[in-house]
Structure 1
């Protein structure tokens, strides 16, 4: 039995010297692209930007999902609205007091609003506005850098979010982000997220070209889960 898997490659971890080749190939295989935007304050790293999304848009019409790791979400949300980034996912830890306004602002622009829960942040923190969300991203690693330790207990949040969605009829998608690779495919798949963010260890570093890396990723998924990848 084949199973459609919504893969969202993390472009922070791609090989920039193969940028066009990788995007062109992935256009035919993925549902969306995941863009990490870090300001050097919320996490001690700098990463991609709205400008990067604009450049990538020249090569793809796939959905772009921005993952904000920033101390001033208001500043970045407006920039992403201006370039019509389809999904804007904000740090739950930094939108207390402005969550309703920012979600309304994103929806008024015809875009999708999401939040990201870092490992220490419980689902209960977003309950006041969870019914308004289009996506909830669960971090299964500490944010800010590739290659962090996988935190398996964070998968319990996916189960919790799925139960809340079924009970109340919420419409958000559940995304997991962090260390999606051969070692963890089985336990991640069992937790049943809607979207898998995948980066260096699960895709881009598996081979020296994106075609072979993709084939290896699919083989690892099928071997670990017993499901056919479609």
Structure 2
């Protein structure tokens, strides 16, 4: 089913991370957002590329069946991604992002994702130079800049990665590209405005949303902060 996805960068998009949702009450957690989100972010960890295990293609497939109109943003923290992508592509995500550090065959992986009709994305760890992405930026619809070292939720934001966001925005403008710049890790009400003003198009937030008493109200307040209404 075709889903409308905006790449025009007119306003900040918010993608709550289901890694911080209640795994036994996933539907309740999503309902608690009260429609204040734009995408749903699904973190997939293999216990090898990152030191943790999390969701697999069965969850993505179940989400797609239950929420046919949601934008599912699936972030693969797996190595090598080429061993995993087919099962996730069968689950009908909207975005499937893979780490530049996880494969020697990044062009091939991104090309396969596009070939299957899913929007490809590439992810950059905090310690990886942004220049490593330049050869593939023409192939992707989203670049995910990690602002924590991936593997666990609830970490502190690494402000130094914002220079990478600046570089990506500059590269995009110079080369007339249209990928979105997404930032993930340690984001919440205290720093989301800084990240938005720094050039991010999409922000991923986990515990800062699902860890609050009213996630929907939290998102509403964050949107007001971004808009300058509070």
Same fold (TM > 0.5): yes
Look up the match of 2:61: 54
CA offsets 1:27-75 (integer angstroms, 9 cap, x no match): 7332211111100011110011111111222321211111111112011
Offset, 1:138: 0.3
> When you count helix as a share of all residues, which structure comes out higher?
1
Whether 1:93 and 2:95 are equivalent positions in the alignment is no
Equivalent runs, 1:175-214 vs 2, <5 Å? 175-200=182-207, 202-207=208-213, 212-214=214-216
CA offsets 1:198-221 (integer angstroms, 9 cap, x no match): 111x201111xxxx2221343255
Whether 1:65 and 2:67 are equivalent positions in the alignment is no
Look up the match of 1:161: 168
The 3-state SS of whatever aligns with 1:100 is: helix
Whether 1:227 and 2:207 are equivalent positions in the alignment is no
One of 107, 116, 120 as aligned partner of 1:109:
116
RMSD between aligned residues: 1.9
Is the 2:34–2:216 Cα contact (8 Å) retained in structure 1?
no
**What is the TM-score of this pair, normalised by structure 2?**
0.89
Structure 2, unaligned stretches of length 5 or more? 1-9
Is the 2:77–2:99 Cα contact (8 Å) retained in structure 1?
yes
Offset, 1:184: 1.5
Over 3 Å counting, the alpha-carbon distance change for 1:32 and 1:99 in structure 2 is: same
Tell me the distance in 2 between the aligned counterparts of 1:142 and 1:22: 25
Look up the match of 2:84: 76
Over 3 Å counting, the alpha-carbon distance change for 1:220 and 1:108 in structure 2 is: closer
**What is the TM-score of this pair, normalised by structure 1?**
0.89
Is the 1:185–1:221 Cα contact (8 Å) retained in structure 2?
no
Tell me the distance in 2 between the aligned counterparts of 1:161 and 1:121: 14
Tell me the distance in 2 between the aligned counterparts of 1:220 and 1:31: 13
Over 3 Å counting, the alpha-carbon distance change for 1:218 and 1:29 in structure 2 is: closer
Offset, 1:190: 1.9
Runs of 4+ in structure 1 off by over 4 angstroms are none
Structure 1, unaligned stretches of length 5 or more? none
Offset, 1:226: 5.8
Offset, 1:228: 4.1
Whether 1:32 and 2:33 are equivalent positions in the alignment is no
Is the 1:142–1:149 Cα contact (8 Å) retained in structure 2?
no
CA offsets 1:172-212 (integer angstroms, 9 cap, x no match): 11000011112222321221211111111x201111xxxx2
Tell me the distance in 2 between the aligned counterparts of 1:69 and 1:115: 11
Tell me the distance in 2 between the aligned counterparts of 1:165 and 1:206: 35
The 3-state SS of whatever aligns with 1:131 is: helix
